[in-house]
Amino acid sequence: MASHPRSAAWRVLLVVLAGALALAGCTGPKASGPAPGAGPHQDTARTGPIRIAVISHSTPGDAFWNVVQNGAEQAGRDLGIEVSYQADPDPGNQAKLVDNAIAQGADGVVVSLGSPDALRASVGNAVRAGIPVITINAGEERSAEFGALTHVGQSEAVAGQAAGSRFAAAGKRKLLCVIHQAGVETLNQRCDGARQGFAGGQVVNLQVDINNPTDVQSRIRGALQSDPAVDAVLTLNPQVAGNAVNAVRESGSRAAVATFDLNSDVVSAIKAGELLFAVDQQQYEQGYLPVVFLKLYLENANTVGGGRPVLTGPGFVDRSNVDAVGEYAARGTR
Q: Are residues 163 and 58 in the same domain?
A: no
The pLDDT assigned to 195 comes to 97
Q: Is residue 23 part of a domain?
A: no
Q: If you write DSSP's letter for every residue of 65-102 in order, what string do you get?
A: HHHHHHHHHHHHHHHT-EEEEEE-SSHHHHHHHHHHHH
Q: Are residues 98 and 208 in the same domain?
A: no
Q: Is residue 141 part of a domain?
A: yes
Which residue, among 42, 53, 47, 49, has the nearest Cα to 83 in the 3D structure?
Answer: 53
The pLDDT assigned to 18 comes to 40
CA torsion through residues 197, 201, 202, 205, sign: negative
Q: Are residues 164 and 275 in the same domain?
A: yes
pTM of the predicted model, to two decimals? 0.76
In CATH, what number is assigned to the domain containing residue 55?
A: 3.40.50.2300
Q: Is residue 180 part of a domain?
A: yes
CA distances from 189 to 58, 119, 222 (A): 17, 19, 24
Domain boundary residue among 258, 280, 302? Answer: 280
The pLDDT assigned to 31 comes to 38
Q: Are residues 196 and 120 in the same domain?
A: no
Domain boundary residue among 280, 296, 327? Answer: 280
Q: Is residue 191 part of a domain?
A: yes
Q: Are residues 170 and 149 in the same domain?
A: no
Domain housing 129: 51-154+283-313
Q: Is residue 9 part of a domain?
A: no
Query: Taking the mean position of all CA atoms in its chain, how far away is CA 322?
Result: 22
The pLDDT assigned to 47 comes to 67
Average confidence (pLDDT) per 10 residues, the chain, 334 residues: 42 38 36 40 63 94 90 98 96 97 97 95 97 95 95 94 97 97 89 94 95 96 97 95 97 97 91 96 96 97 94 94 90 89
Q: How far is 174 from 316, CA to CA, in rounded Å?
A: 21
Which residue, among 258, 148, 236, has the nearest Cα to 190 in the 3D structure?
Answer: 236
Please name every residue paired with 154 in a beta bridge, in sequence order, or none if there are none: 313
Entry field: residues in the chain: 334
Which stretches of the chain are DSSP H helices? 5-27, 63-79, 91-103, 116-128, 156-169, 185-197, 213-226, 238-251, 264-271, 283-300, 322-330
Q: Are residues 150 and 182 in the same domain?
A: no
Q: Looking at the 3D structure of the chain, how many domains does it have? A: 2
Q: Is residue 298 part of a domain?
A: yes
Which residue, among 191, 206, 150, 181, has the nearest Cα to 279 in the 3D structure?
Answer: 191
Which residue, among 255, 237, 226, 140, has the nearest Cα to 191 in the 3D structure?
Answer: 237
Q: Are residues 166 and 266 in the same domain?
A: yes
CA distances from 128 to 33, 40, 147 (A): 20, 9, 9
Q: Are residues 238 and 293 in the same domain?
A: no
